[in-house]
Chains A and B, each alone.
Chain A
Amino acid sequence: MNLHAIKAIYRTEMTRMMRTVVQSIVAPVLSTSLYFVIFGAAIGSRITEIDGISYGAFIVPGLIMLSIMTESISNSSFAIYFPKFTGTIFELLSAPISFVEVLLGYVGAAATKSVIIGLIILGTASFFVTIDIAHPVIMMLFLVLISVSFSLFGFILGVWADGWEKLTIVPILVIMPLTFLGGTFYSISMLPPAWQTISLFNPVVYLISGFRWSFYENSDVAVAISLGMVLGFLLLCLIAVWWIFKSGYKLRS
């Protein structure tokens, strides 16, 4: 294991995050605050409560999920796509490192960043509403697992993409709708029965539900199923990565 290499990649990625602090930290904080103003204040004044939780507090876990999913994907896909685009990938290919080390460096950094952003949003939200966390350990577990799996997913996307279009279209076309329809702003039980069934095919529903359970012990689906879904998604990404690794897919000619 080339530990120096993992460290070098990780540190460079984290430094980049510090350098682009406005873009990487201020932006999610700002957009969360906006969500609070728009949804919390405007809609919250009508809905007031869902399942005994104030609407403002209810949307917090979903908002955190929304941010860490999009941040994880965009950060790690960009991190590996950019060297491909500029040509600096030659150095990764010619270095005495395996794909696993590259992965640990990039995905590790992207996931770390997502966890930090998640916690910052949590802190920001606590200025607007009172938040109780019933199961902090499980909350962290969800936060870390989801950050890691979506960073992995982003990494795969970045390796696969051969143009900026592909890089941006997946988050916009797939992830955005899934998260917005995933129960961030409402409880699935509020939907008509047919839509409730359809929603159960949306994996993001499970992620948000499980994460929300760790806050309020209130969920659309059983928390064990949620955790199972997260682990399943993680496994799926790992298999995809393993396949990329085996085939040298698109990286070496």
Chain B
Amino acid sequence: MQPIISIKGLTKTYEGGFQALKEVSLDINRGEIFGLLGPNGAGKTTLINIVCGIVTKTTGSVTVDGFDIVDDYRQTRSRIGLVPQELPTETFETPWNVARFSRGLFGKPENPGHIEKVLKSLSLWEKRNEKIMMLSGGMKRRVLIAKALAHEPEILFLDEPTAGVDVELRQDMWSVVRSLRESGVTVILTTHYIEEAEQLADRVGVINHGKIILVEEKNRLMREFGKKQLVLQLTDCLAVVPPELDDYELELSESGCELTYHYDTKQDHTGITALLAALRTAGIKFNDLSTSQSSLEEIFVGLVNQEA
């Protein structure tokens, strides 16, 4: 299937000479949730703003649904909704009015029913006629999402949708994003909360210093990069690991009552069966065992550090 967004060799050099994007190439698949991760200043917002038309590219090409973002900007922009990182709002207007305005701006005929649906789905219906400046920060963010959804976009960009948002609202946002995906909307979100990407994204891209350093299906990423460890609670504590178990590079805890074994899920043979057999031979008994996997956050930090 043709990707809905195709970015090829995109570079951006800002006026001052700073190069924010270096030869970025990236495809976004139709209907997926794509998580774009990267430290502060990596170029996430720059990338999004170029696709949306707010920042001009220096070189490279971007197509949305097969249309070029410069030559066919009316086609591409009418398909896109954007929730920006900052919270710029028309303080004296009401949620209803700004949502209606956005819809018109994006070339769609009036449809009060749709605006109503959007405002309700974001729990803004009761506040529809209040001045935006009277709303809380979280509510303002919802207003921005409502504006972005008012023209029924096929693609939604969320630039750090949950920065500074409380746990409950974050959960709400996640469910909004999930239901959007169910209705066929492609969602691209940037976030600093790795947990968010872990919860939501189908695929993850990592950007650092203006370069995409990795794009991978989230599950595969976690499988491939995810080191697993097996921890055994010993029945009888040990002073040292017996030499016949040296091959397994086991770690003995300070108390001597916990043995940790690291293994790689990538390998066909994790060595667990052999380890357990060896333990039995050595006469080491255990009364509990647990496994754990490194989180996306650890993978991410690892990648970015490697890069630096």
Residue positions of A touching B, CB distance < 8 A: 2, 4-5, 7-9, 11-12, 15-16, 19, 86-88, 90-97, 248, 252-253
- From A9, A248, A253, name the one whose CB has the most chain B CB atoms within 10 angstroms: A253
User: Which residues of chain B in 93-152 are interfacial with respect to chain A, using CB atoms and an 8 Å cutoff?
Assistant: 93, 97, 100-109, 147
Asked if A91 meets B55 with Cβ closer than 8 Å, knowing A4-B108, A12-B97, A15-B97, the reply is no
A4–B109 CA distance with the chains assembled, in angstroms: 6
Whether B14 sits at the interface, judged by CB under 8 Å, is yes
Select the stretch in B76-84, B257-265, B277-285 that faces chain A: B76-84
Whether B86 sits at the interface, judged by CB under 8 Å, is yes
Chain A contacts for B82, CB-based, 8 A: 90, 94
Chain A contacts for B266, CB-based, 8 A: none
Chain B contacts for A96, CB-based, 8 A: 73-78, 106-107
Indicate if the CB atoms of A88 and B90 lie closer than 8 Å: yes
User: Which residues of chain B in 62-93 are interfacial with respect to chain A, using CB atoms and an 8 Å cutoff?
Assistant: 73-78, 80, 82, 84, 86, 88-93
Asked if A91 meets B53 with Cβ closer than 8 Å, knowing A86-B88, A96-B107, the reply is no
Whole-angstrom distance from the CB of B85 to the nearest CB of chain A? 10
Chain A contacts for B15, CB-based, 8 A: 253
- From B53, B77, B104, name the one whose CB has the most chain A CB atoms within 10 angstroms: B104
A64–B104 CA distance with the chains assembled, in angstroms: 34
A9–B78 CA distance with the chains assembled, in angstroms: 16
Whole-angstrom distance from the CB of B129 to the nearest CB of chain A? 13
* Chain A residue, CB-CB nearest to B109: A4
For the complex of A and B, list the 8 residue pairs with the smallest distance between their C-beta atoms, beginning with the closest: A8-B104, A87-B88, A96-B77, A96-B74, A94-B52, A96-B78, A95-B105, A2-B107
Indicate if the CB atoms of A91 and B97 lie closer than 8 Å: no
Indicate if the CB atoms of B97 and A88 lie closer than 8 Å: no
Indicate if the CB atoms of A88 and B88 lie closer than 8 Å: yes
Residue positions of B touching A, CB distance < 8 A: 14-15, 52-56, 73-78, 80, 82, 84, 86, 88-93, 97, 100-109, 147
Whole-angstrom distance from the CB of B239 to the nearest CB of chain A? 65
A253–B54 CA distance with the chains assembled, in angstroms: 8
A248–B70 CA distance with the chains assembled, in angstroms: 13
Tell which of B88, B93, B104 touches A4, judged by Cβ atoms closer than 8 Å.
B104
A9–B82 CA distance with the chains assembled, in angstroms: 19
Chain B contacts for A253, CB-based, 8 A: 14-15, 55-56
Chain A contacts for B75, CB-based, 8 A: 96
A144–B257 CA distance with the chains assembled, in angstroms: 90
- From B14, B54, B76, B80, name the one whose CB has the most chain A CB atoms within 10 angstroms: B54
Chain A contacts for B92, CB-based, 8 A: 16, 19
Asked if A95 meets B54 with Cβ closer than 8 Å, knowing A12-B101, A86-B90, the reply is no
Asked if A94 meets B77 with Cβ closer than 8 Å, knowing A87-B86, A253-B15, the reply is yes
Indicate if the CB atoms of A9 and B97 lie closer than 8 Å: no
A80–B52 CA distance with the chains assembled, in angstroms: 20
Indicate if the CB atoms of A86 and B91 lie closer than 8 Å: yes
Chain A contacts for B93, CB-based, 8 A: 12
Tell which of A4, A15, A94 touches B54, judged by Cβ atoms closer than 8 Å.
A94
Asked if A9 meets B105 with Cβ closer than 8 Å, knowing A19-B92, A253-B15, the reply is yes
Chain B contacts for A90, CB-based, 8 A: 54, 82, 84, 88
Tell which of B76, B91, B105, B109 touches A91, judged by Cβ atoms closer than 8 Å.
B105
Chain A contacts for B91, CB-based, 8 A: 86
Indicate if the CB atoms of B55 and A8 lie closer than 8 Å: no
Asked if A94 meets B53 with Cβ closer than 8 Å, knowing A86-B89, A253-B14, the reply is yes
Tell which of A5, A86, A93 touches B53, judged by Cβ atoms closer than 8 Å.
A93
Indicate if the CB atoms of A93 and B105 lie closer than 8 Å: no
Whole-angstrom distance from the CB of B62 to the nearest CB of chain A? 13
A167–B180 CA distance with the chains assembled, in angstroms: 42
A7–B100 CA distance with the chains assembled, in angstroms: 11
* Chain B residue, CB-CB nearest to A97: B105
Whole-angstrom distance from the CB of A44 to the nearest CB of chain B? 41
